[in-house]
Chain A
Protein backbone atom coordinates (compact mmCIF):
# COMPACT_ATOMS: atom_id res chain seq x y z
CA UNK A 1 0.00 0.00 0.00
CA UNK A 2 1.87 3.08 -1.25
CA UNK A 3 -0.73 5.58 0.03
CA UNK A 4 -0.63 8.90 -1.85
CA UNK A 5 2.19 9.34 -4.33
CA UNK A 6 3.22 12.51 -6.14
CA UNK A 7 5.59 13.12 -9.02
CA UNK A 8 7.86 14.89 -9.58
CA UNK A 9 9.39 15.81 -6.21
CA UNK A 10 11.05 18.92 -7.62
CA UNK A 11 10.45 20.96 -10.77
CA UNK A 12 11.81 24.20 -12.18
CA UNK A 13 9.81 25.93 -14.92
CA UNK A 14 10.18 29.10 -16.93
CA UNK A 15 7.35 31.61 -17.01
CA UNK A 16 4.76 30.56 -19.57
CA UNK A 17 5.63 26.85 -19.62
CA UNK A 18 3.00 24.25 -18.86
CA UNK A 19 3.25 21.10 -16.84
CA UNK A 20 1.21 18.47 -15.00
CA UNK A 21 1.75 17.44 -11.41
CA UNK A 22 0.78 13.83 -10.93
CA UNK A 23 -1.05 12.40 -7.92
CA UNK A 24 -2.20 8.85 -7.35
CA UNK A 25 -3.66 6.93 -4.42
CA UNK A 26 -4.19 3.22 -3.94
CA UNK A 27 -6.62 3.37 -1.00
CA UNK A 28 -9.81 3.56 -3.11
CA UNK A 29 -10.58 6.99 -1.64
CA UNK A 30 -13.39 8.98 -3.21
CA UNK A 31 -12.24 12.41 -2.13
CA UNK A 32 -9.02 13.95 -3.45
CA UNK A 33 -7.68 17.47 -3.25
CA UNK A 34 -4.77 19.71 -4.15
CA UNK A 35 -3.27 22.25 -1.78
CA UNK A 36 -0.46 24.72 -2.08
CA UNK A 37 1.74 25.62 0.86
CA UNK A 38 3.40 29.00 1.05
CA UNK A 39 5.53 30.33 3.93
CA UNK A 40 3.44 31.79 6.75
CA UNK A 41 0.16 30.95 5.02
CA UNK A 42 -0.59 27.32 5.82
CA UNK A 43 -2.22 25.18 3.16
CA UNK A 44 -4.73 26.59 0.73
CA UNK A 45 -7.14 24.44 -1.26
CA UNK A 46 -6.76 24.72 -5.05
CA UNK A 47 -9.21 22.13 -6.43
CA UNK A 48 -10.92 19.05 -5.11
CA UNK A 49 -12.87 16.05 -6.35
CA UNK A 50 -15.56 14.03 -4.58
CA UNK A 51 -15.35 11.15 -7.05
CA UNK A 52 -14.42 10.18 -10.60
CA UNK A 53 -15.78 12.70 -13.09
CA UNK A 54 -16.56 15.34 -10.43
CA UNK A 55 -14.28 18.27 -9.63
CA UNK A 56 -14.78 21.66 -8.04
CA UNK A 57 -12.82 24.78 -7.22
CA UNK A 58 -11.24 25.50 -3.88
CA UNK A 59 -9.95 28.74 -2.44
CA UNK A 60 -7.22 29.54 -5.02
CA UNK A 61 -8.13 27.84 -8.35
CA UNK A 62 -6.92 30.45 -10.84
CA UNK A 63 -4.16 29.22 -13.15
CA UNK A 64 -4.81 25.55 -12.43
CA UNK A 65 -6.92 22.85 -14.06
CA UNK A 66 -7.82 19.38 -12.81
CA UNK A 67 -9.63 16.30 -14.06
CA UNK A 68 -10.60 13.02 -12.42
CA UNK A 69 -11.07 10.26 -14.95
CA UNK A 70 -10.33 7.45 -12.47
CA UNK A 71 -10.69 7.02 -8.71
CA UNK A 72 -6.93 6.61 -8.36
CA UNK A 73 -5.54 9.63 -10.24
CA UNK A 74 -5.98 13.36 -9.82
CA UNK A 75 -3.50 15.38 -11.93
CA UNK A 76 -3.04 19.13 -11.52
CA UNK A 77 -2.24 21.12 -14.65
CA UNK A 78 -0.53 24.48 -14.85
CA UNK A 79 -1.38 25.88 -18.27
CA UNK A 80 1.00 28.86 -18.30
CA UNK A 81 3.24 28.98 -15.26
CA UNK A 82 3.80 32.25 -13.41
CA UNK A 83 6.32 33.13 -10.64
CA UNK A 84 3.35 33.48 -8.23
CA UNK A 85 2.84 29.72 -8.60
CA UNK A 86 6.20 28.99 -6.98
CA UNK A 87 5.14 26.88 -4.02
CA UNK A 88 5.03 23.40 -2.52
CA UNK A 89 2.04 21.42 -3.79
CA UNK A 90 0.39 18.67 -1.80
CA UNK A 91 -2.16 16.16 -2.95
CA UNK A 92 -4.43 14.54 -0.36
CA UNK A 93 -7.15 11.91 -0.28
CA UNK A 94 -9.79 10.82 2.19
CA UNK A 95 -12.32 8.05 2.37
CA UNK A 96 -15.65 9.02 3.73
CA UNK A 97 -18.17 11.79 3.95
CA UNK A 98 -19.22 11.06 7.53
CA UNK A 99 -17.17 11.09 10.71
CA UNK A 100 -13.73 12.62 11.11
CA UNK A 101 -12.12 13.58 7.85
CA UNK A 102 -8.61 12.12 7.98
CA UNK A 103 -6.86 13.31 4.89
CA UNK A 104 -3.77 11.40 3.76
CA UNK A 105 -1.12 13.60 2.20
CA UNK A 106 1.47 12.88 -0.42
CA UNK A 107 5.11 13.96 0.09
CA UNK A 108 4.70 17.12 -1.98
CA UNK A 109 6.10 18.64 -5.17
CA UNK A 110 8.35 21.67 -4.81
CA UNK A 111 7.82 23.92 -7.85
CA UNK A 112 9.90 26.93 -8.78
CA UNK A 113 8.83 29.23 -11.62
CA UNK A 114 11.52 31.56 -12.92
Chain B
Protein backbone atom coordinates (compact mmCIF):
# COMPACT_ATOMS: atom_id res chain seq x y z
CA UNK B 1 0.00 0.00 0.00
CA UNK B 2 0.91 3.66 -0.05
CA UNK B 3 2.39 5.18 3.07
CA UNK B 4 4.63 8.13 3.82
CA UNK B 5 6.38 8.52 7.16
CA UNK B 6 8.33 11.37 8.68
CA UNK B 7 9.44 12.36 12.15
CA UNK B 8 7.10 14.81 13.85
CA UNK B 9 9.44 17.42 15.31
CA UNK B 10 12.84 19.01 14.67
CA UNK B 11 14.49 21.84 16.57
CA UNK B 12 17.52 23.71 15.21
CA UNK B 13 19.52 26.81 16.03
CA UNK B 14 19.28 29.79 13.70
CA UNK B 15 22.05 29.64 11.09
CA UNK B 16 22.47 25.87 11.29
CA UNK B 17 21.33 23.44 8.62
CA UNK B 18 18.07 21.52 9.03
CA UNK B 19 17.55 18.06 7.62
CA UNK B 20 14.03 16.66 7.44
CA UNK B 21 13.69 13.00 6.52
CA UNK B 22 10.89 11.01 4.93
CA UNK B 23 10.35 7.41 3.87
CA UNK B 24 7.75 6.21 1.40
CA UNK B 25 6.52 2.82 0.27
CA UNK B 26 5.25 3.18 -3.30
CA UNK B 27 8.18 2.46 -5.62
CA UNK B 28 6.13 3.56 -8.64
CA UNK B 29 5.95 7.18 -7.44
CA UNK B 30 6.82 9.50 -10.28
CA UNK B 31 7.39 12.67 -8.30
CA UNK B 32 8.12 13.36 -4.66
CA UNK B 33 7.31 16.69 -3.08
CA UNK B 34 8.02 18.91 -0.13
CA UNK B 35 5.24 21.25 0.97
CA UNK B 36 5.46 23.93 3.66
CA UNK B 37 2.61 24.99 5.94
CA UNK B 38 2.88 28.16 7.96
CA UNK B 39 0.59 28.71 10.96
CA UNK B 40 -3.05 29.21 9.99
CA UNK B 41 -2.37 28.78 6.28
CA UNK B 42 -2.73 26.18 3.57
CA UNK B 43 0.15 24.18 2.15
CA UNK B 44 2.53 25.69 -0.36
CA UNK B 45 4.79 23.70 -2.69
CA UNK B 46 8.45 24.19 -1.76
CA UNK B 47 10.16 21.89 -4.21
CA UNK B 48 9.81 18.52 -5.93
CA UNK B 49 12.07 15.88 -7.42
CA UNK B 50 11.46 13.50 -10.29
CA UNK B 51 11.96 9.86 -9.33
CA UNK B 52 14.89 9.32 -11.73
CA UNK B 53 16.95 12.04 -10.03
CA UNK B 54 19.21 11.66 -7.00
CA UNK B 55 19.50 15.28 -5.99
CA UNK B 56 17.99 18.65 -6.67
CA UNK B 57 19.27 21.99 -5.39
CA UNK B 58 17.26 25.18 -5.28
CA UNK B 59 18.93 28.08 -3.45
CA UNK B 60 19.02 27.09 0.26
CA UNK B 61 17.11 23.87 -0.36
CA UNK B 62 18.67 20.52 -1.26
CA UNK B 63 16.55 17.46 -1.89
CA UNK B 64 18.16 14.02 -1.80
CA UNK B 65 16.41 10.91 -3.06
CA UNK B 66 17.56 7.37 -2.37
CA UNK B 67 15.20 5.34 -4.50
CA UNK B 68 16.62 1.99 -3.38
CA UNK B 69 15.84 2.77 0.27
CA UNK B 70 12.75 4.87 -0.60
CA UNK B 71 14.17 7.70 1.44
CA UNK B 72 13.75 11.40 0.74
CA UNK B 73 15.34 14.28 2.62
CA UNK B 74 15.10 18.05 2.60
CA UNK B 75 18.08 20.07 3.73
CA UNK B 76 17.63 23.77 4.51
CA UNK B 77 20.93 25.63 4.70
CA UNK B 78 21.38 28.63 7.01
CA UNK B 79 18.00 28.05 8.67
CA UNK B 80 16.17 31.24 9.62
CA UNK B 81 13.30 31.91 12.03
CA UNK B 82 11.06 32.42 8.99
CA UNK B 83 11.63 28.76 8.13
CA UNK B 84 9.68 27.71 11.23
CA UNK B 85 6.71 25.78 9.85
CA UNK B 86 5.40 22.28 9.26
CA UNK B 87 7.02 20.48 6.32
CA UNK B 88 5.13 17.74 4.53
CA UNK B 89 6.63 15.08 2.35
CA UNK B 90 4.27 13.76 -0.37
CA UNK B 91 4.36 11.24 -3.19
CA UNK B 92 2.21 10.95 -6.29
CA UNK B 93 1.75 7.27 -7.12
CA UNK B 94 1.77 6.26 -10.76
CA UNK B 95 -1.63 4.62 -10.40
CA UNK B 96 -3.31 7.85 -9.26
CA UNK B 97 -1.34 10.58 -10.88
CA UNK B 98 -3.14 13.59 -9.46
CA UNK B 99 -3.45 12.10 -6.00
CA UNK B 100 -0.96 13.08 -3.36
CA UNK B 101 -0.16 10.87 -0.39
CA UNK B 102 1.11 13.02 2.47
CA UNK B 103 3.20 12.25 5.50
CA UNK B 104 2.09 13.52 8.90
CA UNK B 105 4.37 16.55 8.69
CA UNK B 106 7.53 17.60 10.55
CA UNK B 107 7.25 20.68 12.71
CA UNK B 108 10.50 22.68 12.41
CA UNK B 109 11.25 25.03 15.28
CA UNK B 110 14.12 27.49 14.80
CA UNK B 111 15.54 29.10 17.92
CA UNK B 112 18.15 31.84 18.36
Interface core residue of B40, B42, B88, B103 (most chain A CB under 10 Å):
B42
Question: With A and B bound together, what is the CA distance between A102 and B99 in angstroms?
Answer: 11
Q: B88 and A43: CB pair below 8 A? A: yes
Specify which chain B residues have a CB less than 8 angstroms from the CB of A107 in the assembled complex: 40-42
Q: How far is the CB of B30 from chain A (nearest CB, A)?
A: 9
Q: Which residue of A lies closest to B92 (CB)?
A: A101
Question: With A and B bound together, what is the CA distance between A43 and B42 in angstroms?
Answer: 11
A residues 28-63 near B (Cβ < 8 Å) are: 31, 33, 35, 40-45, 48, 50, 58
Specify which chain B residues have a CB less than 8 angstroms from the CB of A106 in the assembled complex: 42
A12 interface residue (CB < 8 Å to B): no
Question: With A and B bound together, what is the CA distance between A33 and B43 in angstroms?
Answer: 13
Specify which chain A residues have a CB less than 8 angstroms from the CB of B43 in the assembled complex: 43, 90, 92, 103, 105
Interface core residue of B31, B43, B105 (most chain A CB under 10 Å):
B43
Question: With A and B bound together, what is the CA distance between A101 and B97 in angstroms?
Answer: 8
Give 5 pairs: A residue, B residue, CB < 8 Å, sorted on A.
A4-B42, A48-B98, A100-B50, A101-B33, A107-B41
**Which residues of A line the B interface, CB within 8 A?**
4, 31, 33, 35, 40-45, 48, 50, 58, 90, 92, 94, 97, 100-103, 105-108
**Which residues of B line the A interface, CB within 8 A?**
4, 8, 31, 33, 40-45, 48, 50, 88, 92, 97-100, 102-105
